[in-house]
Every structure is written in C-alpha cells, then in structure tokens.
Amino acid sequence: MKIKNAEKYFYSSLEKQPLEMFSAGKLYNSYKFFGAHRINCDGYEAVRFLVWAPHAASVCLVGEFNDWDQTGYPLKKISHNGVWEISVFNVKVYDSYKYRIVTPYGEVFYKADPYGFHMEERPKSASKYFDIENYSWKDRKWRESLKKRDSYVRPISIYEVNLLSWKKKKDGKQYSYKDLAEELVPYVKEMGFTHIEIMPIMEHPYDGSWGYQVTGYFAPTSRFGTPTDFMYFIDCCHQNDIGVILDWVPVHYCKDAHGLCHFDGEDCFESSDRGRAENEQWGTVNFDYGKTEVRNFLISNAIYWHEKYHIDGMRIDAVAYMLYLNFSGKDIRNQYGGYEHIEAVEFIKELNSAVFLRYPKTLMMAEESTAWPLVTSPTDVGGLGFNYKWNMGWMNDILEYMEQDSLFRKGNQNALTFSITYAFSENYVLPLSHDEVVHGKKSLLSKMPGTYKEKFANLRLLYAYMYAHPGKKLLFMGGEFGQFIEWNEWQGLDWHLLDYESHGKMREFVKNLNKFYRREPCLYELDTTYDGFEWIEHENHQESIIAFERKGSEGDKLIVVFNFTPIERKRYPIGVDKLGSYKVVLNSNLIKYGGDSRSMSVYKAKILEMHNKPYAIRLTIPPLSGVFLKYKGNE
C-alpha cells in the first residue's frame, strides 16, 4: 500500500484469520484487533479503528483529531459479519472519539467504542484513545509465587470495596487510583486480608449503579484516573502480597445511548427476542449468548483483564440470571420445554475453560444462589467450571439466625447448623457482602439484637463463626469496624467511629482474626472436604451452643465452641480425644476486643466420656462468644 502525505486516513489490510476466528467466536484476544490500536504501515504511524456493527448501513469515525467531522472519515466494511475498519493519522493519546452509525432506516447513533481502553469521565461519554502497553510492571515476584499456589489449601480473606465510597477527602472529593494505592492498600495489608475485591470497575455512567450497569467493558472507570493509574494500583497491591479480584457483569448492560444497547440500530449484543433481551428488574438489556461474536466479546474481556491488568480473579455477578430463563419471573422456556438457558450454560463453560487454560491459578467465583449442581466442578465432568461459589444459603441462614433475639435462637438451631450438610458439595466463599447492608437491610452491626454492648458481642461472634466455618471469607468494607448506618454509595464510610472505643476494638478483633486465620492451617487447608471438619456438639438447642473441630492436613486441630446466648456457661463439658492441656488461643470476648474476659484460659482433660470421645474438658464459655482451643500436651 502506498500512502500519500496528504492523506488523513486510509484502509489497512487485516489478515483473514482473526476475522474468521471472531466470526466463529474463537478470537479470545479480540481486544488486540478491535478498538483503537497504533499501527505502522508503509513507514507511517497511524491508529487503526475496528468495530463490529453487522446491521449498520454506514459507519463514520468522529473525534477530536478530525474536529468531529460527521462524515469525512468513513469506515470500510471488511467482513461478511459486519466488521468495519479505518486507519487514521494524527491521533494523539487522550483524543476523544465515537462511531457515527447510520442504521438501515436512516437513524443516526453516536456510540462509544465497545473495545475502547479509556473513556471520558462522566457525564461525558466518548471513548478516548489510549496506549495501554507502556506500563512497567513491578509485580514479577507476586506473579511467580502464584504459579506455586493452590488456592484450595490456602487462606483467602477478601475485603470487598466500592472505590467511590471507601473514603472521601476532607473537601468531599473522591480518591484517585493513586490515592487508593497509598491508603487502601496499606490498610488492607495491616488488617490482614489476603485479597481486595473491587465492585465493578468497568466504565459506567451512573454512580448509583455501583458499576453493575456497564458501558465500557474494556475501560477502567476514568472517575479515578487513567488505565495506567489503575495498573499502578494493582501493582501496589501485588507488591504488598494482596491479590485483586474484579467484580464482573457478563449478564446485562445499561440502555444509555452511547453504550451497547441497539448498537447499530438493531439487536446487536442483545437478543431479538424481547422477552429474553429485556431485563425489567434492573432496567437493562441482557446479552445474547447465542451469538458467537457476543461470546467472543465477553470471553476476550475476561482474558483482557487478566493479561493487561494482572488481576488475580473475577467474581461473576448474577450467575443464576444467566442459568435460568425464568429467574426474573418470566415464563420463558428453551427449545426442550425447560427453563435452563442452554446458550448461557455453554457460554459459562467456554468462558471458564478459556480463562483457566491461560490462567490456571486465577479465581473464578460465581455469585450463584440456586441449587444448580456442579457449579465448581470441571467442565469435562459436566460442571460449570468455576473454582468457587458464593455460599448464599449460609449467608441468608446465619444472618436470619443472628438477627433473632437470643431468647428465640433455640428454636432456630437448624439455621445455624444446616450449612454443614452441604458445605463440601462445592468450593465455597462465605460472603457478608454489600448486598446485605443496603436498601433497608441495615448494617451488620445494626442487625444484631440486644444492648449496645451485646450488638458488638454478637457481631464478633458472627465473625468468629464465619472464620471457623469451612469456606473462604469475604467481608464488605465498614464491617470490620462496625459501621452503624447502611452503606451509602454517595459518601465515605464513617471513619470517625474509630474515635469510639467499641468500634476501635471491633477493628482490632477483625485484624487479629484475619491474622489468626492465616497462621492456623486447619482453618483453611481442608475447606473442601469432611476430612477437615468434625462435629462435637450441635444438638444443644436449649442453650444455643455448638462446638466442632477444624483439622489440618498434618493432623493439627482446633476445637471451636460458640455460645449464642448472653448467658455465661461455666464448666461446660466438651469431649476431646487426648489427655493433657487445652489452651484458649482466641476468645472473641477478651477485654481488648470489647468483651469481659481477662485472660486466655487453659483446661486440663479428664477421663470422662463425652460427645463420643473418651475424655472431656470443662470450660467457661463467655456470653455471645466464640472460643478457639488448641491441644498443648502436658504443659
């Protein structure tokens, strides 16, 4: 191709193979072709723009580099399935642009680039040209260490964060990615969490959607800075041994005019079946997983965040809405008369297979609330292929139980113990997430019954039980210090509460609980098997007491005893396997945490058959408390 100096744009040649793979849904690195990319052609540097608009009558590029010329930069259709291309000179980093799409009916739409790497800050909505290849990563040590890790036998304690409302500056302004790297990262490290989970970071127009209604799937939101600023944030996390999990929304997208909805005037990313396309519950549009190009777009997106931003995992939102055609209440059935969304199931399997092939140590976590089988089993045995699932049943049961007045808990013991009957059917994460502290549900602390002091005791008890229960852990921001009011996405957390002793001691308890969890292998090594758990006491409904053992792979054990009433139980017998001393190694009722216990007691076992064991200890169980004991031999 011979390019003349006077030309402002030209049409470059693109190999057939990527276009064919995209059409077949197998171009899993489609982000390397679609969108805006710097190229060198005939000795000249230009930026090539590639967009999928199968129904468009014409497509033009408009932007700062051409003074928003409406028709002067027409794209050329280069494939049978509607891929359009143009290469343009004199495009600079941060230049804004959109695609001007004319529909077969003469309508004109101005659309942001579905593959755009950067976007204007709200309320503006154009894409911005940005080169994401120039960041110099410093996380090699972290990434090398991941190759040796098996997440199933390691502690995972996740701090869930909404970046907009974690903390505000004194003047009310939001933190940037770099500000968060300087404050949030050391805070999470100090608190002992292993991972940060960020609520959807992909570009979205409305703060109140929390990021769950996306317009820019390949663009980290510009609210907090540039793509390289976000890379810096993740880099800082890794340099401090903190993994990063992104919340991801491959279910639906918003109807904003510049987004994916009716992208080329027709049903492009959505289904032509209005019942399947419309998501009335959220006022959004569902993806059509039956289209190869849509599956390609989403799978490429998941791989993109791993490759370009070094993320360590994804929490996939609203999987139940993907699996069932009738989950939103509609009577929609598949071709066989069932409610299973067959195309979505195949998409999920393809997604997980593709991601794990490239990133075998990543975390793919399903927020899935039904009894769909084998969610965390490999696809080759009929599973969906995730490696973790949020345990929504545990979350609902334990919060219902804890919200009850302690006098009535004895009638609901099953809500406390039932989760163990299925705890090892999947690889679970135990979530106390953002969804449980909004929309009138109250904060975790406010849910707790009793006096002011008992509320804190109950919350410490809840956390102690959560960390003792099989499964990885997740806690939403603010829960660590006892946020009193519901989470409000428009303002920062109530950090001033730490000026009050009870809240400061609550945070100290969560910090110590995280560190205790991380140094006790029996709390995480056998999370996915009954080999790591054994009931001691689960039938004492009247006194609302349960006790069990957690076991490690090397034979180490912890005995954990919980008292869910405000009544101290003295000389309570607990069956044990060996004679010798048993020392309390964690007590949620210690004075330093806001309770009344002054010391970590030691109990000697006696010959006394109890709980199907030959020996027993008699211990004092403080009110509304969890006590962890370890065998110390003949000390």
Catalytic residues: 317, 367
**Euclidean distance between the first and the last CA atom of the chain, given in angstroms as a whole number:** 84
Q: What is the DSSP letter of 374?
A: T
Residue 458 vs residues 98, 404, 626: alpha-carbon distances, Å: 53, 11, 10
Q: Give the tokens for residue 171.
A: 């003047």
State the burial class of residue 598 (Cβ atoms within 10 Å of its Cβ: 0-12, 13-18, 19+): exposed
* Strand stretches in 249-306, DSSP E: 252-253, 278-279, 284-286
Total Cβ atoms within 10 A of residue 256: 16
Q: Give the tokens for residue 223.
A: 């609210």
Counted residue by residue, the chain has a size of 635
Comparing C-alpha atoms, which of 150, 33, 128, 170 is closest to residue 496?
170
Q: Is the Cβ–Cβ distance between 159 and 123 less than 8 Å? A: no
CA distance 223 to 201: 10
Comparing C-alpha atoms, which of 485, 487, 489, 488 is closest to residue 475?
487
Comparing C-alpha atoms, which of 340, 386, 380, 336 is closest to residue 366?
386
Residue 349 vs residues 200, 305, 344, 498: alpha-carbon distances, Å: 22, 19, 9, 45
Residue partners of 92: CB distance under 8 A and separation at least 6: 65, 129
DSSP H or E stretch at residue 123: none
CA distance 62 to 9: 12
Q: Is the Cβ–Cβ distance between 445 and 456 less than 8 Å? A: yes
Q: Is the Cβ–Cβ distance between 37 and 307 less than 8 Å? A: no
Q: Give the tokens for residue 42.
A: 């005939």
State the burial class of residue 423 (Cβ atoms within 10 Å of its Cβ: 0-12, 13-18, 19+): buried
User: What SS3 class is residue 311?
Assistant: coil
CA distance 230 to 587: 39
CA distance 105 to 545: 70
Show the CA angle centred on residue 173, arms to residues 172 and 174, nearest 5°. Answer: 120
Identity at 166, one-letter amino acid code: W
Residue bearing tokens 């993907």:
322
Distance of CA 397 to the CA centre of its chain: 21
CA distance 619 to 412: 25
CA distance 220 to 382: 34
User: What SS3 class is residue 598?
Assistant: coil
CA distance 264 to 33: 19
* Strand stretches in 55-103, DSSP E: 58-63, 76-77, 83-88, 96-102
